[in-house]
Structures are given as structure tokens and as C-alpha cells.
Amino acid sequence: MSLSLEQGTELCRLLADPSRCRLLLLLEAYELSVAELTDITGLAQSRVSTHLSRLKRAALVQDKRVGSAALYSASGNGGAAGELWSHLRAQIDDRQTRIDRERAEEVVLARKHGQTWAESVAGRMELHYSPGRTWEATARALIGLLELGDVLDLGSGDGVLSELIASHARSVTCVDVSATVVAAARKRLASFSNVSVEEGDMHALPFDESRFDHVFAMHALPYSAHPDVMLKEVARVLKPGGHLIVATLGEHHHEEAMRAYDHVNLGLSPEALQRLLKDAGLKVESCRVTSRETRPPYFEVVTALATK
């Protein structure tokens, strides 16, 4: 989208105000009223209303009526303003914003609009805690639907994924390059007779061709300096008709985070991952961004499913 100099300057002014940035960060995670935003931020109600009006005109926030109240939320688009905001927010990691979110969580839980808990968080339920409602509990419930056959868990770490799927596979083979995490995985998985844990390089797998029905590469790619080689090895050891399941960080520019977690690359875009999968001789069933973290620096996760 092309902008005049005046339009570009106005957009910069819009997002140069720290209060408006605070409100935007809150409204990405919660639907909140003017009164609630006033309570959370300590800003005057008139200022909150004015900021919301400007953000709404820029299509960065939207509102809806719930009874007699209007609840505001981030719109998720906003054209040129949205593009500028997405670049800016990826760099924001501020103590005040973390305090704001803690206060917002308390406000949402304390709502007294005659609503049930589910009604008060409807549309953003996954962002709020509820006893027993976790992604782990959901995964353990759904995994019972699967029969996985012979499985290879690449970059398996200390065996968390393999522990989850072991009861639903004929065999599970874990591979990790670190002797320390291999030892931890063997300890964790000792009770499973159908699981083996091996120290090895995922770029040169010590297995025959067409060995596995499923290969999981769950956040293994950030540790690969040569993902093309790794994916070709995966294709080699997959059985015809076998599936590869990938989850990896989307392309980003946070070199400090890369170094902190010993990653060797800056993630992959869906387009780049899809090309690598096709070059490895695999048929790509899906490849897209499936989640985006709610805290700075807002890492995205790309997941892919491919078959041989």
C-alpha cells in the first residue's frame, strides 16, 4: 500500500503515543470495556475513549455490544496502520505491559455482568485459564483417536512427545544429538517397552529406507543448519504413504533469542518450508502459520503435514 508523506507521518503519530500502544497490546488478548481499560491502565476515562476512537478510525480496534456495554478488541487488520503496528509490537517487551495483562486477567475474572465464566471470555477462551482446560489435557484426550504404527521422533529432547504417543504406536524411536538429553529421555521412557532412544544426527539417520509410518519433527528444524539435508533424510526413511508432521518457528529476526536457545537459524516461512518439503520429494498436504504467541516478540509457529 502506497502512502503520501502526510499519511505516513500521521500513522507514525498515531502509534507514537505509549498509552495507545498499551491499549492495543491489551486488546489483542482481551475484549474490554472503556471502564475496564480505565481501571487496568489508570488512565482517565476520557483519554481512553479518545484513544479508542482514534484507533477505531484507523481500523486497529473494533467494538461490539454486550448488553449495555461496548467491548473493544484488536481488529487484526488495519491496513497500513496494521502493518506498521505489527512491526512495532514485535519489538516491545516492557514491564508495564506485563503488569497491564495481569490486571486485565483479574478484571475479566471479576466481571459481574450476569454472565457465566464461559460467556465472559467467549471468542478468546484459549487465552484464559480454566481448571483442567489445558492444551496437554486436550492433546491426551485426542491422541486416543490415532494409531501411529512405527514412529520416528526427531530432535526428541527428553521424550515429552514420545511419552504422549507411545501407547498409540507399534514402536517409537527417538533421536537426539545430545547425550545429556538422551539420558534424560531414557529415564523418562524406561517403562515403555516399545520405545528406543538413540543418540544420533538427524542429517544422517542410521536407519534403513522406508522404515517409519510417521516422522515427527516438532521444533527440530531450528537446530538444523541444513534443513534440506534433514528433510531428504526424513523422506528416505518414510514408508510409501507415510506422514511427516513438522512444527517450527516462523521466520523471524530475533538473533538474541536464537542464541539463547542454541538455534542455528532464524526460522522458516511457510513458503520456504513448503519448497524444502517438495524438493525432498514429499507431497505437501498443508503448510501454514497455525499460532502466534501473545507475548513479545510474538513468535509464530509454522506447521506442515507432508506424505511420501
pLDDT of residue 58: 85
For residue 155, give its domain range: 135-307
Bridge partners of 284?
Answer: 306
pLDDT of residue 12: 83
- Cell numbers linked to 84: 506498521
Kindly indicate the confidence band of residue 104, based on its pLDDT and cuts at 50, 70 and 90: confident
62 and 197 part of one domain: no
105 and 184 part of one domain: no
3-class secondary-structure state, position 195: strand
Pick the last residue of a domain from 95, 125, 155: 125
CATH number, domain containing residue 24: 1.10.10.10
The answer on pLDDT for 258 being more than 90 is no
Q: 282: which DSSP letter?
A: P
Pick the last residue of a domain from 83, 102, 125: 125
141 and 262 part of one domain: yes
40 and 178 part of one domain: no
The CA radius of gyration of the chain, in Å to the nearest whole number, is 23
Parallel, antiparallel, or unpaired for β 300-307 and 238-249? antiparallel
79 and 196 part of one domain: no
145 and 38 part of one domain: no
| 47 Cβ contact partners less than 8 Å away, ≥ 6 residues apart | 19
The answer on pLDDT for 27 being more than 90 is no
pLDDT of residue 296: 67
**CA quadruple 254, 88, 86, 39: dihedral sign:** positive
Range of lowest pLDDT (75-84, 93-102, 172-181, 287-296) = 75-84
In a domain, 130, yes or no: no
107 and 140 part of one domain: no
85 and 152 part of one domain: no
Total domains, the chain: 2
Pick the last residue of a domain from 77, 92, 125: 125
Over residues 78-91, the pLDDT tens digits come to 677 777 777 777 77
164 and 297 part of one domain: yes
Kindly indicate the confidence band of residue 1, based on its pLDDT and cuts at 50, 70 and 90: low
In a domain, 25, yes or no: yes
CATH number, domain containing residue 221: 3.40.50.150
The answer on pLDDT for 308 being more than 60 is yes
120 and 47 part of one domain: yes
Nearest to residue 32, comparing CAs of 256, 280, 43?
Answer: 43
Q: By CB neighbour count within 10 A (0-12 exposed, 13-18 middle, 19+ buried), where does 41 fall? A: buried
Distance set, CA 124 to CA 119, 163, 262, 303 (Å) = 10, 30, 33, 22
- Determine if the pTM surpasses 0.85: no
Over residues 108-166, the pLDDT tens digits come to 777 655 566 676 666 767 766 677 777 778 887 888 788 899 999 999 999 999 999 99
Q: Within 10 Å of residue 95's Cβ, how many Cβ atoms?
A: 7
User: Rounded to the nearest 5 degrees, what angle is found at the Cα of 174, between the Cα atoms of 170 and 179?
Assistant: 155
User: What is the arrangement of strands in the sheet containing 300-307, beginning at the earlier edge strand?
Assistant: 195-199, 171-176, 150-154, 212-218, 238-249, 300-307, 283-292
- What stretch of H or E contains 14? helix 5-15
What is the mean pLDDT of the segment spanning 231-248? Answer: 97
Q: Within 10 Å of residue 134's Cβ, how many Cβ atoms?
A: 11
Residue type, 207: F
CB 19 within 8 A of CB 89: no
116 and 143 part of one domain: no
pLDDT of residue 127: 65
